[in-house]
Amino acid sequence: MTNFSVTLILLFSLLLSHGIIELEASTNQPYRTGFHFQPAKNWMNDPNGPMIYRGIYHLFYQYNPYAAVWGNITWAHSTSTDLINWTPHDIALAPSAPFDSHGCYSGSATIRPGGRPAIFYTGSIDSFTNQVQNLAVPKNYSDPYLREWLKYTYNPLISATRPIDATSFRDPSTAWLGPDKRWRMLIGSVIDNKGSAILYTSKDFKHWIKVEQPFYSDAKTKMWECPDFYPVSTVYQKGVDTSIYGPNIKHVLKTSLNEPQRDCYMIGTYDIGQNKFIPDPESSLSGDSGLRYDYGKFYASKSFFDSAKNRRILWAWVPESSSEEDNKKKGWAGLQAIPRSLWLEKSGKQLVQWPAVEIESLRLNEVKLQNRFLQGGSVLEVSGITAAQADVEILFDVIELDRAEVLDPSWTNPQVLCSRKSALVKSALGPFGLLVLASKGLEEQTAVFFRIFKGQDKHVVLMCSDQSRSSLDNTNDRPTYGAFLNVDPVQERLSLRSLIDHSIVESFGGGGKTCITARAYPTLAIDGDAHLYAFNYGIEGVSISNLSAWSMKKAQIN
């Protein structure tokens, strides 16, 4: 090879690795989704500024227009009338000014009085990723699609002041209006090694003053990304506007903690006079019992109040578990989870999440099984559906609860317990659940299952999603996820719902009390070769009192 051709090859690889040129995305695309939102190509991460405006749902998201890796970050934009089918629009915000020259990072939308939306977003301003906060407003409020956005002339509106480090200062939350007519908004940071949400207040939405002490901070956490703060009703499942404050309301403070990526939340009281959030005594961010929206892959989430249907909807980014090299080959990376309704559980101690009801309009050809006994060590195929693109709900009846294995008090970490007791490890009651994205010979399978233990004074239910055999290609990350499920199996049946979509499995245990989202990249269980099974590898039998499975139609996801 001549020196010239070596130089050309080197130059080509350099441009490719920096995302400056792209290869045509591969046409063999078994992992693209049928009903989970994703752009036609390239990199996507956080959901940004979700809202409803004049009956149209808006989703913006962090997007690299040039490659399947993070970089050149803009706000891409799509709209929908049903949260399921989406129409893409031009990029809403792209680096264009000194206050966002190195990227338009995450942020939120606020609907101001009179129904006027505004966006606050983080601008990355240099190659050190110093960050500031900027305002953008619609160019034309009479356009329900809000296709054009104007960046405010006097941006940045908020810059970091000591002791805040400007490289850790980002992701403004939706703002809320207090009874004193002052706006409030949170920005994520880490101050003196404590992960923090910093509160800013404003009378006019333009001039913002920092409140001296953090709204909340936690020494056991590092950088807080994408803080979200909102009220939930203690009396009904309906959502409430972000500015609601008063009786029958509790507040939720969510933070996205990096390394490992987790969306954690606390439930508590908002003291508006003291500008503070006071978590309930049993609500904490750290430790094995800290609450998470989802115990699998689910990050940088953001909620909004859907005033058309009086519900709070949650969006989140679901990253890939495949290598960067594979992402470049397939030409895309990143999904959005199915938008979920969320509300406070009856006990007031945790949230419940459930896929937005609109998703059910994609269900086709229900397959139903009732009162089927699953002997210990058995597998039952659920045929008659497109198992690579499906929605399945299963309800288990467990009779022999007395025989449950005793829970060792040292088993406090459910994820470790799920890894130790993988889908193949037999105990008295469990594992039982679903094998999804499974190949005919079960060489590949993602196992979503329960195990029941006898705790000190009650039964303890463990929910796991085991990806260790999800793909024969071991270059993919194949973790096992797990969490405890706060359901007493003496009082109620155990339910599981999984949304299966080619390379993503979103599972909801106990009606949405515990959620686990996983990525899987089967090499055999693809499209028509994917199978779905109910299984029970435990010693004791369990009954399926009901199973309903549907093929899912393809949605317009861009």
Encoded one letter per residue, x for contact with ligand DQQ by CB under 6 A and - for no contact, window 294-323 reads ------x-----------------------
Q: Which of residues 223-252 bind ligand DQQ (CB under 6 A)?
A: 225-226
* Minimal distance, residue 242 CB to ligand DQQ, in Å: 20
- Shorter beta-carbon distance to ligand DQQ: residue 237 or 258: 258
- Shorter beta-carbon distance to ligand DQQ: residue 91 or 472: 91
Q: How many residues bind ligand DQQ (CB under 6 A)?
A: 12
* Minimal distance, residue 304 CB to ligand DQQ, in Å: 17
Query: What is the C-alpha to C-alpha distance for residues 25 and 27, in angstroms, rounded to an integer?
Result: 6
- 143 catalytic? Reply is no
Burial of 30 (0-12, 13-18, 19+ CB in 10 A): middle
Query: What is the C-alpha to C-alpha distance for residues 457 and 64, in angstroms, rounded to an integer?
Result: 52
Q: Is 132 in the site for ligand DQQ (CB under 6 A)?
A: no
Q: Is 46 in the site for ligand DQQ (CB under 6 A)?
A: yes
Q: Is 171 in the site for ligand DQQ (CB under 6 A)?
A: yes
* Minimal distance, residue 334 CB to ligand DQQ, in Å: 10
Query: What is the C-alpha to C-alpha distance for residues 240 and 132, in angstroms, rounded to an integer?
Result: 30
* Minimal distance, residue 224 CB to ligand DQQ, in Å: 9
* Minimal distance, residue 131 CB to ligand DQQ, in Å: 8
Q: Is 185 in the site for ligand DQQ (CB under 6 A)?
A: no
* Token couple for 472: 């024969």
Residue 557 amino acid letter:
I
Q: List C-alpha distances in Å: 532 to 23, 350, 416, 498.
A: 35, 31, 26, 11
Q: Following DSSP, what letter does each residue of 200-253 receive, concatenated?
A: EEESSSSS-EE-SS-SEEETT---EEEEEEEEEESS-SSB--TT--STTEEEEE
Q: Is 263 in the site for ligand DQQ (CB under 6 A)?
A: no
Encoded one letter per residue, x for contact with ligand DQQ by CB under 6 A and - for no contact, window 94-113 reads -----------xx-------
Q: Which of residues 51-80 bind ligand DQQ (CB under 6 A)?
A: 62, 73
Residues whose CB is less than 8 angstroms from the CB of residue 162 and which lie 6 or more positions away in sequence, other chains included = none
- Shorter beta-carbon distance to ligand DQQ: residue 225 or 391: 225
Q: List C-alpha distances in Å: 212 to 145, 163, 195, 279.
A: 38, 10, 15, 20
Backbone angles phi, psi at 403, to 5 degrees: -85, 0
Q: Is 336 in the site for ligand DQQ (CB under 6 A)?
A: no
Q: What is the CA radius of gyration of the chain?
A: 24
Query: What is the C-alpha to C-alpha distance for residues 512 and 295, in angstroms, rounded to an integer?
Result: 12
Q: Is 190 in the site for ligand DQQ (CB under 6 A)?
A: no
* Minimal distance, residue 104 CB to ligand DQQ, in Å: 9
* Token couple for 143: 């356009």
- The contact set with ligand DQQ (CB under 6 A) reads 45-46, 62, 73, 105-106, 122, 170-171, 225-226, 300
Active-site positions read: 46
